[in-house]
Structure 1
Amino acid sequence: MESPVPGYLADVLDSSAAFADGAVADYIPELAGVDPDRAAIALATVDGTVYAQGDADAVFTIQSMSKPFTYALALSDLGIDGVGEKVGVEPSGEAFNEISLEPDTGRPRNPMINAGAISTHGLVAGADAADRLRRILDFYSAFADRPLELDDAVAESELEEGHRNLAFGHLLRSVGNIEGDPVAVVEGYIRQCAAKVAVADLALMAATLANGGVQPRTGRRLLDQRIVRHVLSVMMSCGMYDAAGDWLTTVGIPSKSGVSGGIVGVLPGQVGLAVFSPRLDRHGNSVRGVKMMERLSEDMGMHVMEAARPARSAIRDVHRVDYRGEEATVYELHGDLVFSSTESLIRRLVEDPPATRRVIFDLDRVDEIEDVARRMAVSAGRSLLDDGHALTITDRNGVLGETDLPRETDA
C-alpha cells in the first residue's frame, strides 16, 4: 500500500495554485530573477520522516526564516534574561524593515523584525565576526541534519542594497545596543539570511522545535525546552510582522516567513511544516504559502487555540486472531486519531505490511478522529483493499462516520 500523505500534500499545493498575485522581492537584485511560479510543500514528523511535494528540489535562501533559529542560539548563549536586556518580545505592528526601538530602552521591539534580528546576531558568542557566523551556520546545519552553505551571490547582492540595514546597525550602536563594529554585525546578519535551504530542510528544522529541541533524526538535543517554548511564543506573536494578528486568528501556527517566499511553521509535539512560493503580499509573506498554511491549519486542527490532543501512538496493540475460521491481523487503536498518530499508523502499514489476508481495525477505544485523519484512514483502507486484503472495522461508537469501508456487521 501507499501512504496518502504525499497525495494530501499535493492536493494542498494544487489548491493554492489559483492565488497567483503578489510579486517577488525585487529589492534584492538576485531574488528579482527567481521563477515566481515555483512552489513546494514539506512536512516532517517528530520522528524524522519527511514528506515533500512540488518543486521540492528548489533551493532558496532562508532569509528571515533564520531569525528564530539565531534568536534561539543567542538565548542558549546568554539566557532569556540576558537577551531580553537587548531585544524585546512585543509585536511591533509594523513592517519587517521599520525602525522600531523602544524609546526608553533603545531595544528593538522583537527579534523577528530586522532591527531586532541584527541585534540578536550580534549577541551570538564568537571570537570574531567570522566565528560568530560559522557558529550560526553550524547551528542551522544541526537542525537540518546536513551541512548548509551560503549563497554568496545573494549575500553580495543584498549587501550592495543594504543601506537601511546598515542604518539600523549604526542606530543600534549609537544607543549602546550592539558592541563593536556595526557594519560587521550587519554583514553577518545579511550572510546568515543567505543560507541555502530546500523545503525538506526547513521542515526538519521546524520538526526539531516541534520535538522540544531534539533533532528527530540524530536524537541530539539542540535546545532546552524552556528556550523552545520562548522561541515559539515569539514566533506566534511576531513571526508574520504586521500581519501577525490576522495570522494568529486565522492560522494560529507559530511561524516565520522569509522574502524568498518560504514560511516555516511548528505544531508542537507533532510536525514541522515548510512551504515555498516566491510571490509576496504587501506584508512580505508568500501569497500561496499563506494559503497552504491556512489549509493545513484548517484540515489538521492546528490552530493554537484548538483544544489540545495528545500525539501519542494510535496503536494500542497488534495481534493475530482466528476470525470466522480465518487468521487475521488486528490493529487495536486508542485515544484521539490526529494527523501525526494516523501518519505513524499508516507508515507502519507501509513499512511492515500485515502478513494475513484479513486485516481488522478495532476502533472501539478511539475517542475522536480529526477530519484529516479520517480521510487518511479511509484512503489507507481502500489501499489495503486494492492490495488484495480483506478488511474489517469494528467501531461500536461510530467515530469513523459513514464510509464505504466494510464494518464488522458487513463481514
Structure 2
Amino acid sequence: MRELEKLLTNITEKNKEYCKEGKVASYIPALARQKFDMLGAVIVDLDNNIYSAGDVNEKFTLQSVSKIFTLMIAIMDNSVEEVFSKVGMEPTGDPFNSIVKLETMNPSKPLNPMINAGAIAISSMIKGKDNEERYNRVVDFIESVIGEPVTLNEAVYLSEKATGDRNRAAAYFMKDVGVIEEDVEEVLDLYFKHCSIEVDCIGLAKLGAILANQGICPTTGERVVPKEVTQLCKSFMITCGMYNSSGEFAIKVGIPAKSGVGGGIMAVVPNKYGIGVWGPALDAKGNSIAGIKVLEDLSKELDLSIF
C-alpha cells in the first residue's frame, strides 16, 4: 500500500468513532435516512493519482458544496463586479440558513455566496433559456471535472423543495429588494436541484483538485475555470466555507474547504491535492463531525496548512 494511502486509511479508521457523536441532517427528511456511521476519504493529486480509504463509493448529495460551482458559473456568465453587486464578500457568524441580516443590512443583500440566501441569489445569475438548460449547465460542469455522469437524487430534491420554507422566505425577500430578478420559484427549483446532485468521495476529491490546480482539470489537462475565479472561490472557502465554524477550521486545519449537510467536505491544498471526505453524522454547525477530525489529522501529519 502506498504511504499516503496507508496514512489516509489509518486516519480514517482512527476517527470513525466520532461518527456516533454527531447526528444526520433531519430537517430535510430524505437525509435523515442516511446511516450515521459511514466515513470515507479520498486524496487526488495533480497527476490524477487517487488515494482512498473507507466508504468512498457511497453516493451522497453535494448540498452546500455545490455552491462553489454555481458561483464559478455565475461569475463566468456575468462578471465579478456584477455578481458582487448582488451578494457580499463577508463572513456572517450566523447559521447557514439564517435570514436575520437580510433586512437589517444596508444594502439588503446576502453577506456571502456560501450561505443559503447568497447561493440562491447566485443561482438566479446562471444563464440559460430555461431552468432545464441552467441545471444541465451545472451538471455538465461537474461531469466534465469528474469524468463520469452524475445523477439527481430525486427523493432529496423533492424533500428539500417540500420543506424549504426558510429558503423560500429568503428568496421572496430578495426578489422584493431587487437582488433576485428572475422568477423566484424557478430560482429555488434550480437551487434545490443542484444541492441534490449526487457524487462519491472520489468525485468530490476530483472537484477539489480543479481548485488546487488553479482551474485546470487534472483528468483532462484542460483549463475549465479562469485562475482568478478559483482564487476567489478558495478565499470564500477559507472565510465562509465551513459555515459559522470557518474561523476555527482555518486555525485547526488551515486549508480552503466547503462542507454540506449531506456530510461531504471538499478540501483544497493549493498546487497539491483535492480532498473529498464524507461522513453524514454532523456536528451542531452542520459539518461532518468525523470528516473534520480526518482533515485535522491529515493537515497535521502532512503539514498542509497554507498559513
- Alignment TM class, shorter chain as reference: over 0.9
The alpha-carbon deviation at position 192 of structure 1 amounts to: 0.3
Code of the residue aligned with 1:267 in structure 2: it is V
Counterpart CA distance in 1 for 2:108 and 2:127 is: 21
* 1:7 maps to 2:6: yes
Instruction: Say which one has the larger Rg.
Output: 1
Map of 1:129 onto structure 2: 131
Map of 1:337 onto structure 2: none
* 1:194 maps to 2:213: no
Map of 1:17 onto structure 2: 16
Map of 1:88 onto structure 2: 88
Answer yes or no: is the 8 Å Cα contact 2:146–2:207 preserved in 1: yes
* 1:303 maps to 2:305: yes
Map of 1:145 onto structure 2: 147
Counterpart CA distance in 1 for 2:5 and 2:250 is: 27
Query: Among 175, 178, 181, which residue is 2:180 paired with?
Result: 178
With a CA cutoff of 8 Å and minimum separation of 6, indicate the structure with the bigger relative contact order.
2
Answer yes or no: is the 8 Å Cα contact 2:256–2:268 preserved in 1: yes
Counterpart CA distance in 2 for 1:231 and 1:5 is: 27
For residues 343-382 of structure 1, the C-alpha deviation after alignment (integer angstroms, 9 at most, x for no partner) is xxxxxxxxxxxxxxxxxxxxxxxxxxxxxxxxxxxxxxxx
Query: Among 154, 159, 164, which residue is 1:157 paired with?
Result: 159
Task: Give secondary structure in 2 for the equivalent of 1:18.
Answer: helix
The alpha-carbon deviation at position 180 of structure 1 amounts to: 2.2
What root-mean-square deviation, in Å, do the aligned CA atoms of Structure 1 and Structure 2 show? 1.0
Code of the residue aligned with 2:210 in structure 1: it is T
Map of 2:77 onto structure 1: 77
Judging by fraction of residues, say which structure has more helix: 2
Q: How many residues align?
A: 304
Counterpart CA distance in 2 for 1:217 and 1:137 is: 17
Aligned ranges 1:250-269 → 2 under 5 Å? 250-269=252-271
Map of 1:48 onto structure 2: 48
Structure 1 range deviating more: 243-252 or 194-203: 243-252
Code of the residue aligned with 2:258 in structure 1: it is K
For residues 258-311 of structure 1, the C-alpha deviation after alignment (integer angstroms, 9 at most, x for no partner) is 001111100010000011111111100000001001011111111121xxxxxx
For residues 147-177 of structure 1, the C-alpha deviation after alignment (integer angstroms, 9 at most, x for no partner) is 2111111100111111111111101101100
The alpha-carbon deviation at position 88 of structure 1 amounts to: 0.9
Map of 1:357 onto structure 2: none
Query: Among 285, 290, 293, which residue is 2:292 paired with?
Result: 290
For residues 297-347 of structure 1, the C-alpha deviation after alignment (integer angstroms, 9 at most, x for no partner) is 111111121xxxxxxxxxxxxxxxxxxxxxxxxxxxxxxxxxxxxxxxxxx
The alpha-carbon deviation at position 251 of structure 1 amounts to: 1.0
Map of 1:308 onto structure 2: none
Structure 1 residue runs without a partner (length 5+): 306-411
Counterpart CA distance in 2 for 1:252 and 1:5 is: 19
Map of 2:110 onto structure 1: 108
Answer yes or no: is the 8 Å Cα contact 2:261–2:286 preserved in 1: yes
Counterpart CA distance in 2 for 1:217 and 1:279 is: 31
Map of 2:61 onto structure 1: 61
For residues 213-237 of structure 1, the C-alpha deviation after alignment (integer angstroms, 9 at most, x for no partner) is 0110111211000111111001110
Counterpart CA distance in 2 for 1:40 and 1:189 is: 26
For residues 363-405 of structure 1, the C-alpha deviation after alignment (integer angstroms, 9 at most, x for no partner) is xxxxxxxxxxxxxxxxxxxxxxxxxxxxxxxxxxxxxxxxxxx
Code of the residue aligned with 2:60 in structure 1: it is F
Runs (4 or more) in structure 1 with deviation over 6 Å come to: none
Code of the residue aligned with 2:75 in structure 1: it is L
Aligned ranges 1:322-341 → 2 under 5 Å? none
Code of the residue aligned with 1:183 in structure 2: it is E
The alpha-carbon deviation at position 18 of structure 1 amounts to: 2.4
Task: Give secondary structure in 1 for the equivalent of 2:265.
Answer: strand
Counterpart CA distance in 2 for 1:224 and 1:33 is: 39
Map of 2:278 onto structure 1: 276
Map of 1:385 onto structure 2: none
Code of the residue aligned with 2:181 in structure 1: it is E
Structure 2 residue runs without a partner (length 5+): none
The alpha-carbon deviation at position 14 of structure 1 amounts to: 1.1
Counterpart CA distance in 2 for 1:230 and 1:261 is: 24
Counterpart CA distance in 2 for 1:123 and 1:282 is: 31
For residues 188-228 of structure 1, the C-alpha deviation after alignment (integer angstroms, 9 at most, x for no partner) is 10110000100000000100110110110111211000111
Task: Give secondary structure in 1 for the equivalent of 2:151.
Answer: coil
Counterpart CA distance in 1 for 2:231 and 2:3 is: 31
